Structure 1
Amino acid sequence: MISQENNTPDEQMLQNSEKMQDQLTAAEAETTTTTTVIDTKNEINERIEAIQHELLQMQQRERDNLLRAKAEIENMRRRSEIELEKAYKFSIERFATELLPVIDNLERALYMSDKSNSYIASTVEGIELTLKSLLDTVSKFGIEVVSKTNVPFNPDIHQAMTIQESENYPPNYVMIVMQKGYILHGRLIRPAMVTVSKAAANNP
């Protein structure tokens, strides 16, 4: 190995230049490595943030789906309860409709009976008690009778059979109920057949 003491000034300058070049190359390599590490860390952090954001979105979607499923189940439960209630309320509609002629016949029998005849007094009383018991029973199941007179004509519950002039009733009022109507839990099962008033010709 040649000692630097024996080197000429030019040789020493060349050696010093080579050393500086080596030091610069090493520094650049270290800087490049550090920059690469920093870039890698940034990429990892960005990826972690993206995954966390995606997880949050998935959790939100799952919560939304769960809430929608709960709401749908609640709606189905309410609809089922309403349908069940309606089925219960109107389960006797057909039976009630078939029963109405029986009530009509009992009322007709009472109307045509001679209540002054003592021989049939017990029979008339029996019919009255039977009719009353029958009406009380159907009332317990939500059946209402439409039989009032001197009330405004209502096409939802009345069926006008005739129209008569009248000075005793306001126009378009129920004067006579020829056949009673019936309502089951607010639903009309038979309209009342009625005579409706109109203004008299001499009293417009």
Structure 2
Amino acid sequence: MTKEKNNTLNEEVESETVELTNDEVETVFAEAEDSKDDSTNIDYAAEIQNLTSKLEEADNRYLRLQADFDNFRRRTRLDIEAGEKYKAQKLVTELLPTLDNFERALQIEADNDQTRSLLQGMEMVYRSLVDALKKEGVEPIEAVGKEFDPNFHQAVMQGEDENFGSNIVSAEFQKGYMLKDRVIRPSMVKVNQ
């Protein structure tokens, strides 16, 4: 008999559906909230505050990480641009002594036709070397007659010459060169007092 009663009750429960309106649902939840003790509500508030602070901390870490990444990307881009801009610096630095030797050799006085034709050949090689360096952005630093600038000139001597004013370069011992906007080698100069 109990099985029959259970089946009957189950059928009755299944046949009846309970429909509640939104207001009734809210009332049920409000009553459930009121029935909780105050200590539970305080725990929820503390937990919400804790989670909010953790979320703010995570957001701050994310923003700092994003800023660090942006800075890294910018530095990398600038390094690549500088590498491209000054890619010839090592080669130019190694060629400057050769250029100096050519200039010294071209200052020799030719006393016969063989020496003159040899000097002409050397001058042609020298000009082609200078032209190739100019194409890469290498320019000589002008020194004689210019005001001494420690960014471009290296003073190795001081002297007095009435043809030049004070702090003016009066002689150049070794040419200086720039690659685009970077000094590769400063000019070695004599400065008038």
Partner of 1:75 in structure 2?
A: 71
Which amino acid is the alignment partner of residue 138 of structure 2? Answer: I
Partner of 1:156 in structure 2?
A: 151
Structure 2: runs of 5 or more not aligned: 1-32
Partner of 1:145 in structure 2?
A: 140
Aligned with 2:36 (options 31, 36, 40): 40
Alpha-carbon contact 1:158-1:193 (below 8 Å) kept? yes
- Aligned Cα root-mean-square deviation (Å): 3.2
Asked if 1:63 is matched to 2:53, the reply is: no
TM-score relative to the length of structure 1: 0.63
Partner of 2:128 in structure 1?
A: 133
| In 2, Cα distance between equivalents of 1:95 and 1:65 | 45
Residue 126 to residue 44, structure 1, CA distance change in 2 (3 Å): same
| In 2, Cα distance between equivalents of 1:134 and 1:55 | 70
| In 1, Cα distance between equivalents of 2:142 and 2:121 | 23
Secondary structure at the aligned position of 1:154 is classed as coil
Percent identity between the two aligned chains: 34
1:61: Cα distance to partner? 1.4
1:69: Cα distance to partner? 1.1
Asked if 1:102 is matched to 2:109, the reply is: no
1:67: Cα distance to partner? 0.7
TM-score relative to the length of structure 2: 0.66
Q: What whole-Å deviation, never above 9, does each CA across 1:7-43 have from its counterpart, x for those lacking one? A: xxxxxxxxxxxxxxxxxxxxxxxxxxxxxx8472544
Aligned with 1:180 (options 175, 181, 188): 175
Q: How many residue pairs are counted as aligned between the two chains?
A: 163
1:101: Cα distance to partner? 1.5
Structure 1: runs of 5 or more not aligned: 1-36, 199-204
| In 2, Cα distance between equivalents of 1:122 and 1:149 | 31
| In 2, Cα distance between equivalents of 1:45 and 1:102 | 86
| In 1, Cα distance between equivalents of 2:119 and 2:146 | 30
| In 1, Cα distance between equivalents of 2:152 and 2:143 | 11
Secondary structure at the aligned position of 1:161 is classed as strand
Q: Which structure: larger Rg?
A: 1
| In 2, Cα distance between equivalents of 1:156 and 1:132 | 27
